[in-house]
Amino acid sequence: MDDTTNLNILKEHVLHVAAEHHLWSSHDIIVVAVSGGADSVALLHILYNISKTHTPLKLICAHVHHGFRKESDAEVELVRSLAEQMDIPFELTYANIPAYMEESGKGAQEASRDKRYDFLLQVASNYGARSIALAHHADDQAETVMMRLLRGSGPSGLTGMKYKRFEGNVELIRPFLRIYKTDLLQVCHQSGYPYATDNTNFQNKYTRNAIRLDVLPFLGQYNGQIAQSLNHLAEIMASEDEYMEQAAENAYHKLVQRSDGRLAFKVPSFLGLHAALQRRMIKLILNYLSAGSENTDFDTIEMVRRRIVQHDSTTWSLDLGGGLACIREYDMITVMPKQTDQTICYTYRLDAAVLELRMNEIGKVLRMTEQSPEEEYWEDTVEAGQQAVFDANELEFPLTLRPRLPGDTMKVMGLNGSKKVKDIFIDAKIPPSLRSRIPIVVDGSGNIVWIPGLRRSVHAKIDDHTLTVLHMAFFNDGSFG
């Protein structure tokens, strides 16, 4: 097999992967991260060849001088020369990694990665590039999967690196993820592509290097195709993880309600999900509320899931860390920012009927309209129970709107005598954390005349002698124009 044949085989493989995963389109601007090693040198050559013979692409060669090794200066010139031969733009940055390590407290590899990606994203922004091409290959993928396996990652972690993912507005693409290092080295040797060798890659003080140099060769004694097996695992898990993520998103949108920064769902509907979907839905909720930070570990997710599926209590609260809490009230689970006091305080006094009153504390709008008894005025857009009518001449002003107070009682229409408002809330299974969000409407004599969504009192009821009707309706803020 001649040199050109090997290069063409590699190119056709990359083209197949690019088409399968939609890595680029004609005339895309692509920043190619070139360290000077065999992998990135091969990547630049392959993409350059594709841009000239198959798909027009504008390539930008980007290199980072990390300031660690004496060979770095020579690597800069090697990559610069390569870009000049191809007549493509060359972008270089000198990163003071030791200084950044001291400033950030990060290790050498993490610090180098931060600065490298910052630079690549800046270059992409400067050129208006759609994507950044990285030379990660199949051996890198195997190492990544093994590292995550040892770390105890779940299915999502075992998918390894993705062929493409967004970093801000730019796609990171990896055309070589199915190609092994030996194939890249062979093409470089046979085609005469000069490349640099980073000797730190042979020091096992770094975890990834130790996986490459010690762990995988050891496991290779028991499975001579260990790298291929790990890559197959990544491929399988990527497809199944994508399917499960979509199922979890569907369950989330079907079952979860969002209100005032809280995410809530009903226990019976949650119990109808498979345990795998239960875990994923909890993870989605925690990610949405905490930007995917410290609350997505398995132990936290499983603690919440197990507590929900247990039948020992109808009311409990869990501190999830990261400023989040999970509470169960009757058959409702709510995940929300942790609060020291769940009671919301507000008081509104109305000396006369008003067209509109915004109650920002509870996200409600009260709308009041006077009309004749003959008119039928009912808002189709109002939630059930969120509107009521009163005899305008019998309703005593000023009206006061406030949360429930201890000892509140109400003369409920249809019942003899009075009933405690607390018992009305309990009978309706209103979660304690939501009770202060339901306004109590009190007349000028201190009588509770209406609890929206729950009960209306005997006061100022409509009868044959009513001349003017006062229609009151509550809307969620912003639900009408």
Q: What is the H or E stretch that residue 352 is in? A: none
Nearest Cα neighbor of 127 from 30, 23, 51 is: 30
Name the residue type at position 16. H
**Is 239 labelled as part of a ligand binding site?**
no
Centre a 10 Å sphere on the Cβ of residue 320 and count the other Cβ atoms it contains: 20
**Is 36 labelled as part of a ligand binding site?**
yes
First-to-last alpha carbon distance for the chain, in angstroms, is 72
Return d(Cα 120, Cα 61) in angstroms, integer: 10
Centre a 10 Å sphere on the Cβ of residue 60 and count the other Cβ atoms it contains: 23
Nearest Cα neighbor of 365 from 246, 210, 473, 253 is: 473
DSSP letters for 202-256: G-TTSHHHHIIIIIHHHHTTT-TTHHHHHHHHHHHHHHHHHHHHHHHHHHHHHH-
**Is 51 labelled as part of a ligand binding site?**
no
Residue 172 phi, psi dihedral angles, 5° rounding:
-95, 120
Query: Left, alpha or beta for 366 (phi > 0: left; psi -120 to 50: alpha)?
Result: beta
Q: Take residue 18 and report the two structure tokens written for it.
A: 């690019």
Cα Rg, the chain, nearest whole Å: 33
Whether the CB-CB separation of 283 and 296 falls below 8 Å is answered with yes
Q: How far is CA 449 from CA 33, 173, 400, 415, in A?
A: 70, 64, 10, 14
**Is 40 labelled as part of a ligand binding site?**
yes
Query: Left, alpha or beta for 408 (phi > 0: left; psi -120 to 50: alpha)?
Result: beta
Return d(Cα 372, Cα 273) in angstroms, integer: 51
Q: How far is CA 378 from CA 28, 228, 399, in A?
A: 57, 67, 22
Three-state DSSP class for residue 136: coil
Q: What's the residue count for the chain?
A: 481
Return d(Cα 129, Cα 101) in angstroms, integer: 29
**Is 18 labelled as part of a ligand binding site?**
no
User: In sequence order, what E strands does 18-145 have?
Assistant: 29-33, 58-65, 90-94, 131-133
Return d(Cα 287, Cα 406) in angstroms, integer: 37
Residue for token digits 């109400």?
410
- Give Cα 361 to chain centroid, integer Å: 27
| Strands 131-133 and 29-33, bridge-based pairing | parallel
**Is 87 labelled as part of a ligand binding site?**
no
Annotated binding site for ATP: 35-40
Annotated binding site: 35-40
